[in-house]
Amino acid sequence: MPDQSMIDQSLMSDELFQRFARLIYEVAGIQLSGQKKTLVMTRLQKRLRALNLERYEDYFQYIKEDNNEFVVMLNSITTNTTKFFREPHHFEFLQNRLLPHLIQHKQANRELRIWSAGCSTGEEPYTIAICLLEKLQSLAPVGYDRSDPYRGWDIKILASDLSTKVLNTAQEGIYKGEALREDLPEALLKRYFTPCGNDRYRVQDVAKQLIRFRRLNFKERSYPFKKPFDLIFCRNVMIYFDEAMKSHVLTKFHQHLAPHGHLFLGHSETMFGNKLFSPVHITVYRKQ
């Protein structure tokens, strides 16, 4: 097996990096500038060692012939930073403004559909589930049947990501206690998580059962959804896309949002001049 020094000596040429970048963009829509070359080399070194390869050229040929390894490679080069209640102003707006409105105006079919697009390791969709459950409980009449935490609502949260690795972690729903105690009030930790040893906690079924995890590539020409979403969260994902890819994704979000549905973007992502959506809060937009 090649050691670290052998791999370091086999440098990735600018031309080879551009071949990697073009292939990644063609398949996943992720744009890699020349400034990312060192990061890509560093992240891929582990894969070269694991596969007993000495040259990045050999690895490039490998991922062209092995789709599973291509996915592993994407897992390696993308950053999956997230936490519970990340960008808390979004969840305050969700609980205080959007959910009361949706619950009031959808009493006829009592159906809610939400998409966490780019869900990473699951903190975002589980946070959404917790917000929903808390709001349903707070709006419940005195003496309601507490054996039904969903109060007769049909709620589905789709959580998608390109990375199979993070989806597996998300579906497992187990998180370190130290991080949870930093992100969550103690009352929510006790209400929605169960200790499972080694200072780790598992998401309880009451929240977990609301979520369906699946792999989805934003680059696809069509998205396989039959029903529209009331809300879409796609935060800190489009920073990886060029303008053409952003336009494609935003058009698809507009297509799959219900009338006057809402789209949440990340704190550094804006849509100046976009005629498909109008701003209603800090990086929250309503479908036009």
Evaluate if residue 191 carries a pLDDT over 70: yes
Q: What is the pLDDT of residue 212?
A: 97
Least confident residue range of 1-15, 31-45, 260-274: 1-15
Please check the confidence at residue 2 and state whether its pLDDT lies above 60. no
pLDDT, residue 5, reads 46
Confidence check: pLDDT of 283 > 90: yes
Alpha carbons 56 and 12: distance in angstroms, whole number: 6
- Asked whether the beta carbons of 269 and 236 are under 8 A apart, the reply is yes
- pLDDT of 61 reads 95
pLDDT tens profile 105-160: 999 999 999 999 999 999 999 999 999 999 998 887 666 666 788 888 999 999 99
The whole-angstrom separation of Cα 264 and Cα 282 is 9
Q: What is the pLDDT of residue 274?
A: 83
Structure tokens at 166: 């993070």
| CA gap 9, 18 in Å, rounded | 19
Q: What is the pLDDT of residue 13?
A: 92
Q: What is the CA radius of gyration of the chain?
A: 21
Mean pLDDT of 22-44: 91
Phi, psi of 212 (to 5 degrees): -120, 125
Burial of residue 279, with CB atoms counted within 10 A of its CB: 0-12 exposed, 13-18 middle, 19 or more buried? middle
Tell me what pLDDT residue 143 has.
62
Q: Could you give the CA distance from residue 178 to residue 32 in angstroms, rounded to a whole number?
A: 33
pTM, two decimals, is 0.87
Write down the pLDDT at residue 11.
82
pLDDT score, position 22: 94
**Domains in the chain and their CATH numbers?**
4-77 (1.10.155.10), 88-287 (3.40.50.150)
Q: Which two three-digit tokens encode residue 144?
A: 């309601």
Annotated active-site residue in 47, 86, 113, 161? 161
Using the Cα atoms of residue 205, residue 236, residue 67 and residue 8 in order, give the sign of their dihedral: negative
Helix 56-65 and helix 37-50: axis angle, to 10°?
Answer: 70
List the one residue out of 163, 90, 87 whose CA is nearest residue 121.
163
Which is nearest to 203 in space by CA: 261, 103, 130?
Answer: 130
Which of 133, 119, 135, 127 lies closest to 90 in space, CA to CA?
Answer: 127
What pLDDT is recorded for position 1?
A: 47
Mean pLDDT of the chain: 91
pLDDT at 7 over 70: no
Given the residues 43, 49, 191, 202, the one annotated as active site:
43
CB atoms within 10 A of CB 169: 18
Q: Does 43 participate in catalysis according to the annotation?
A: yes
- What does the pLDDT average to over 45-60? 93
Helix ranges restricted to H, the chain: 4-9, 14-28, 37-50, 56-65, 67-77, 88-93, 99-105, 123-138, 164-172, 177-183, 186-192, 205-208, 243-256
For residues 42-65, give the mean pLDDT.
93
Highest mean pLDDT pick, 53-57, 67-71, 72-76, 78-82: 53-57
Per-residue pLDDT for 267 more than 60? yes
Cβ–Cβ under 8 Å, residues 6 and 54: yes
What is the DSSP code (8-state) at residue 238? G
Beta strands 229-234 and 111-117, pairing class: parallel
